[in-house]
Structure 1
Amino acid sequence: MAEPSFDPMALPPDNSCPFCNIAQTYPSFPPEQPPAPDSPELDPSKLAPASFVVLSTPMLMAFLDIMPLSHGHLLLCPRSHKPKLSDVSPQEAAELGSYLRILSKALSQTTGVYDWNVVQNNGAAAAQVVNHVHYHLIPRPEIRASGKFRESFTMFGRGQREDLDDDEAIELAAKLRANIAAVLEQESRKGKL
């Protein structure tokens, strides 16, 4: 991915924005070689509530949703504070799009769920809760087969949500980072003999 360039439209970090706080707290790392799961770089308790980072480039971040709609629910956002999708730079838009595909593959491999939603809300009337542009990647397991009839998969960020379990999240985030690296490795070998 390209290194970030100066963006004259970038807003300063918003200290009241939880996503800006995550971006300021966790340094970037090469997605092809993520830090070890017990690395102090990835310590989820650096912030409250805990943050489980799965991808951290100089331009964007992905982390587990603290109130997931389903197991593996991820958020992907630019590091810089941009309230809506129309505010991101062309470079941010390109990297977000590229990583949506990569995260989708890694998320399916990690959860074993091969149906998912990608949702992006713009503004309060569109159910955007955090005023920082972000995409939701939400695995959609077949609930009739699982017997979990109480699960809610209502679209656009509305539905029954439960707090993320920290111990499960540590393990899940580590698996996601490993699968992101594996997807990138597989793709780097495509077309090579």
Structure 2
Amino acid sequence: MAPKTYNSSLPPIPSSSTFDPGRPHTHTHNNSNTQTTSADCPFCHISAVFRPYNPANPPPPTSALLDPELTSPQASAFVVLSTPHLVAFLDIMPLSTGHVLLCPRPHRPKLTDVSPAESAELGRYLRILSAAVVRATGVADWNVVQNNGAAAAQVVPHMHFHVIPRPELRDKRSERFTATMFGRGQRDELDEEEAAELAGRVRRAVAEIVWADAEGGAKL
């Protein structure tokens, strides 16, 4: 199948060429009550080392923009979306295949700490990322989860959404579909080779949906 040729008359999207992979990214925002980075926050580390790129035209898997080893000595990170305001990546201990985290680049402990611009972009890409995960995994049902504070089960104090595919589970005796509780059973670490391939599928799906939106609307 020939690669898709995108309509050059579509609304322009900022080019990833405007971002220098070799330079630290600085956050600009209008929320002076919240710090922009935290030295011991793993999500701040991911945000700092992965440069923004154009979601409609993601770089190839071999690009330095996507090198999972950038987070060394911390665990490798597999980025599926990276804009000036936010970053999304595969969960290191997924509840299911395709479990993705979406967070603002600056250190925002809770949802109420994000800036208006960050909030708008989170809302836009939460939908796009959900659709992309469905396309990449083939799982039609999913959960969006967002926790605020330790009492609400937030583990990393950097605001983030979980997009979690929920494969169908059929009870063999009743032939009825069942649902499972979050956190039940063994959670295994990502297999890096499988994660790299899955992240590539999600990035491609994100690009397809961004372009479809620009052409008149994307559907799951």
Give 1:95-110 correspondences, 5 Å limit.
95-110=121-136
Which region of structure 1 is more displaced relative to structure 2, 116-125 or 88-97?
88-97
Identity %: 52
Matching residue of 2:44: 20
Higher relative contact order (CA 8 A, sep 6+): 1
Give 1:14-93 correspondences, 5 Å limit.
14-47=38-71, 48-93=74-119
Return the alpha-carbon distance in structure 2 between the equivalents of residues 186 and 45 of structure 1.
Answer: 32
TM-score (norm 1): 0.89
| Partner AA of 1:11 in structure 2 | Q
Q: 1:39 to 1:89 in 2, by over 3 A?
A: same
TM-score (norm 2): 0.78
Matching residue within 146, 159, 162 for 2:184: 159
Contact 1:69 1:153 in 2 (8 A): no
Unaligned runs of 5+ in 2: 1-12, 15-26, 173-178
Larger radius of gyration: 2
Aligned-partner SS, 1:186: helix
Aligned-partner SS, 1:66: coil
Deviation at 1:144, TM superposition (A): 2.5
Return the alpha-carbon distance in structure 2 between the equivalents of residues 61 and 153 of structure 1.
Answer: 28
Return the alpha-carbon distance in structure 2 between the equivalents of residues 11 and 52 of structure 1.
Answer: 25
Unaligned runs of 5+ in 1: 147-151
| Partner AA of 2:29 in structure 1 | F
* Pairwise CA RMSD: 2.0
CA deviations on 1:15-44 (whole Å, 9 max, x unpaired) are 100000000010000101111011121110
Please list every run of at least 4 consecutive aligned residues from structure 1 whose deviation after the TM superposition is greater than 4 angstroms. Answer: none
Which region of structure 1 is more displaced relative to structure 2, 55-64 or 5-14?
5-14
Matching residue of 1:149: none
Return the alpha-carbon distance in structure 2 between the equivalents of residues 12 and 99 of structure 1.
Answer: 21
